[in-house]
Chain A
Amino acid sequence: MPVDMNVMRGFMEQIQQLGQMDVPSERPDEERVDTAKRVMLEKLDTALAVDLEACVHCGLCAEACHFYLSTEDPRYVPVRKLELMRRLYRRERGPLRWLYRLTTRDITMDDLEEWQELVYDACTVCQRCSLICPMGVHVAAGVAGMRAAMRAADLMPVEMRFVGQEQSEKGSLFGVGSEEFRQAIEELRASGLSIPLDEPRADILVLSAVTDILLFKDTLVSTIRIMNHIGASWTFSSQGYESANFGYMAGDEEWQCAASKRVYDAAVACGAQTVIVAECGHAYPALRWDGAELFGKPLPFEVLAPAEFLAREIVAGRLKVKPIGKQKKVSFHDPCKIGRVGGVVDAPRVVLQALGVDLREAEPHGVENLCCGGGAGNFLINRGMPLRQKAFELKIRQYDATGADEIVTSCDSCQMNFMAGSMMHQWNKPIEGLVALVGQNLA
């Protein structure tokens, strides 16, 4: 069941309309700058401070950044995105602040406006730059703090603000809330699928994502087929079905907590020992690595990425797939948030091996893979489209060199960005989700 490109275009039009809804902040500039500085200072911990102290301005991080590599514009050098934090640390927290207050200028609204593009449009928080830095500077951690500061100063891109607010306040995304999810499940039930929804007890809580409901229906159907095939005790929850967490991407802890809390409550309510997030890149680290921190205690359930779960079930012999054969030449795109950030790199390859396809590894791949350019919510930012598409040229070169006929990945955002990139560049390389591929080839 290929993605209906008209639906995809409609989805992109919805995003474009969001961009036209911006209203200027009514707060005075001074207050916005002060708020941003306060948030930056809150985010400054030892790890970030030693990064700011250790950077020698060599600029090697640029050599790992897809935005710099594709444009060679020095403004996009990753560590420069932390310059305002560095200035603030020196002026407000460092031991020589009396000196730096005399020799460096304070942060202004103009600075924040300039850095807004750098920390949103020109950074997908992919963490690749951390792998090259000789000092081990974790730029992405600082960018996450900068995004939080921008949010506090009303400088978050309007598209992210609207989507994040919708999720936080209404619990829906792009108009898909609990009721719409229930309807989608009813429609699938009508087609003959058995789907547990809101079961009072289940071992596994399976999450979905708005993208699977609107766009990648094949992924949703495959998820259901796989879970039924295994014979697991599982359920969806109409109160906690959404994997996506726009608070995580936008740097808004309150939104992030609200989105995670719905899943947490749903999992606890049905006594789930395992929560499987959808193929939604950031959703995995948002819950797997940030969930416990948000709630101040370890999560009472394990969190798995779909690829991780599929590999585990294949190895255990509970999930049996039909080998597709070597005539299918595929390359796997490691989503940053699942691979480099999430630590799930081998699992998708276990699944592809079980499917018997001809896996043509791209260079680089695994934890070193290049970001597609659409992660961390960037896919939503309309004004970032030209830069994103420039960066996407690297992906085209990367996968054309493999000789693969199609690309498989395990992230909806990556899939959407690949589809948008294919449309823009007239690049004819299909992309599909790992879950959908498995769902179509159950033994």
Chain B
Amino acid sequence: MFAEFVDGPFWYFSATVFVVGVVLRLFFALRLGTPRPLSRPRESASRGFIRTVFTRFIPRREFFPRMRLEVIAGYAFHLGLFALLFFAAPHVEFYKERILGFGWTPMPYWAFIVSAQLAFAGLLLLWLRRVLHPVSRILSDAGDHIGTILVFLVMLTGCLALAEFHDSLRVLHFFLAELLLIYFPFSSLMHTFTFVLSRGYLGAGFARHGVKA
């Protein structure tokens, strides 16, 4: 009964909340508009927009020693999660069966284990920093912790489900993933999409002034 609910109506509901919520949050920010700059630029703003979206993946050498832990943990978590999300065999199967109608080659089991370990280690380190560092502690709100806990639980149940091959674990994993989808548009997890715009606007502004941001 619960499995049918999770696999059926609740999936459609959570996917709808996710898509509509993300679109609305982006739309409400974009509709505010940005004044068209009139001063003579030193460099193309569009070029700066695109450049900063990519260059910001690598921290500046000046700052790296002060952000080593965050960079390494951040990359471990995000790369691990990306690999799990798009290349774990059950996920590829899910995209093929339920969403896209086609699939791709999944990663082997050992790669799944490595990705999961990276993602867990990264997430835990980032969360520990959030809790222990006075700066991130003063900034963090309940939403940040809820997001972290949900992602952690989704990853944990996903790993257990794959290791144990037990349907109840799969249902629990899917249910938590659906909760995460619902929570997503209400949270700072939105940075998954908004980072492109925030980096881009910054890069565009700096490029007009002739500075590579």
B35 CB to closest chain A CB (Å) equals 7
Give the residues from 355 to 398 in chain A that come closer than 8 angstroms, CB to CB, to chain B: 363-364, 367-368
- Contact call A55/B39, Cβ cutoff below 8 A: no
Q: Contact between A49 and B29 (Cβ–Cβ < 8 Å)? A: yes
How far, in angstroms, from A51 to B141 measured CA to CA in the complex? 17
A56 within 8 A of B: yes
Could you list which residues of chain B lie within 8 angstroms of chain A, going by C-beta atoms?
21, 24-25, 27-35, 37-40, 42, 52, 56, 59-60, 62-63, 66-67, 70, 74, 126, 130, 133-141, 144, 185-186, 188, 190-191, 194-195, 197-203, 205-206, 208-213
A423 is an interface residue with CB less than 8 A from chain B: no
* CB of A166 closer than 8 Å to a CB of B: no
Cβ of A80: which chain B residues have Cβ within 8 Å of it?
138-139
Quick check: is A3 within 8 A (CB to CB) of the other chain? Answer: no
Q: Does the CB pair B135–A62 fall under 8 Å?
A: yes
Decide: B39 and A343 in contact? CB cutoff 8 A: no
Q: How many angstroms from the CA of A134 to the CA of B134 in the assembled complex?
A: 19
A57 touches B136 (CB 8 A): yes
Other A-B pairs, 15, CB within 8 Å; known A136-B195, A298-B39: A45-B35, A46-B32, A47-B205, A58-B136, A58-B139, A79-B139, A80-B138, A95-B24, A135-B56, A135-B195, A138-B202, A293-B35, A293-B38, A293-B39, A298-B38
A131–B21 Cα distance when bound, in Å, is 30
- Which of A250-258, A284-292, A430-438 participates in binding chain B? A284-292
Given the complex of chains A and B, what is the CA–CA distance between A131 and B200 in angstroms?
A: 13
- Rounded to whole angstroms, the CA-CA distance of A336 and B34 in the bound complex is 24
Query: Measured between C-beta atoms, what is the minimum distance from A403 to chain B in Å?
Result: 20
* Contact A93-B25, Cβ < 8 Å, known A60-B67, A131-B213: no
Chain A, residue nearest B144 (CB): A57
Report which of B29, B139, B209 forms a contact with A53, defined as CB distance below 8 A: B29
A49 adjacent to B38 (CB under 8 Å): no
Residue-wise, chain A 34-60 has the 8 Å CB interface mask toward B (1 for contact) of: 000000000011110111011111111
Q: Is A263 an interface residue (CB 8 A)?
A: no
**What residues on A are CB-neighbors of B186 within 8 Å?**
96, 99
How far apart sit A11 and B149, CA to CA, in the bound complex (Å)?
56
Q: How far is the CB of A368 from chain B (nearest CB, A)?
A: 5
- How far apart are B192's CB and chain A's nearest CB, in angstroms? 10
Q: Report Cα–Cα, A298/B67, bound state, in Å.
A: 41
Q: Chain A contacts of B211 at CB under 8 A?
A: 340, 343, 345, 367
Residues from chain A with a CB closer than 8 A to the CB of B63 are: 60, 63-64, 131-132, 368
| Contact (A136, B39) CB under 8 Å given A54-B198, A68-B135, A130-B213 | no
B136 engages A136 (CB within 8 Å): no
A28 interfacial by beta-carbon distance below 8 Å: no
Can you list the 5 inter-chain pairs with the closest CB atoms, starting with the nearest? A136-B199, A343-B210, A59-B135, A292-B38, A49-B29
A184-220: which have CB < 8 Å to B? none
Chain A nearest CB, measured from B63 CB (Å): 5
A-B contact pairs, 16 of them (CB 8 A): A50-B194, A53-B194, A54-B190, A54-B195, A54-B198, A74-B137, A75-B138, A130-B206, A130-B213, A135-B191, A136-B201, A141-B205, A289-B39, A292-B39, A297-B38, A340-B211
Residues of B within 8 A of A2 (CB): none
Pairwise interchain contact A137-B202, C-beta atoms closer than 8 A: yes
Beta-carbon nearest neighbor of B205 in chain A: A138
A323 at the interface (CB under 8 A from B): no
Q: Given known contacts A60-B70, A293-B39, is B199 in contact with A341 (CB within 8 Å)?
A: no
Compute how far the CA of A131 lies from the CA of B56 in the bound complex, rounded to whole angstroms: 9
> Could you say which residues of chain A place their CB within 8 Å of the CB of B201?
46-47, 50-51, 136, 138
The main secondary structure of chain B at its interface with chain A is helix
* A395, chain B: closest CB distance, angstroms: 16
Contact across chains for B39 and A291 when beta carbons are under 8 A apart: yes
A95 touches B25 (CB 8 A): yes
Q: List, in ascending order, chain A residues with CB within 8 A of B210's CB.
A: 343-344
A274 to B197, CA, bound (A): 35
| Interface status of A321 (Cβ within 8 A of chain B) | no
- B139 close to A342 (CB less than 8 A): no
**Complex CA–CA separation, A60 to B130 (angstroms):** 11
Kindly state the separation between the CA atoms of A386 and B138 in the bound complex, as whole angstroms: 23
Q: Is the CB of A94 within 8 A of B140?
A: no
Any chain B CB within 8 A of the CB of A354? no
Q: Does A299 contact B (CB under 8 A)?
A: yes
Known: A63-B67, A136-B200. A53 touches B136 (CB 8 A): no
| Cβ-defined contact, A57 with B188, below 8 A | yes
- Inter-subunit contact A53/B190 (CB<8 Å): yes
A77-B138 in contact (CB<8A): yes
**CB–CB B40/A298 < 8 A:** yes
A296 interfacial by beta-carbon distance below 8 Å = yes
**Cα-based distance from A141 to B32 in the complex (angstroms):** 15
Point out the residues of chain B lying under 8 angstroms from A289, CB to CB. 39, 208-209
Task: Check B199 against A135 for contact (C-beta < 8 Å).
Answer: yes
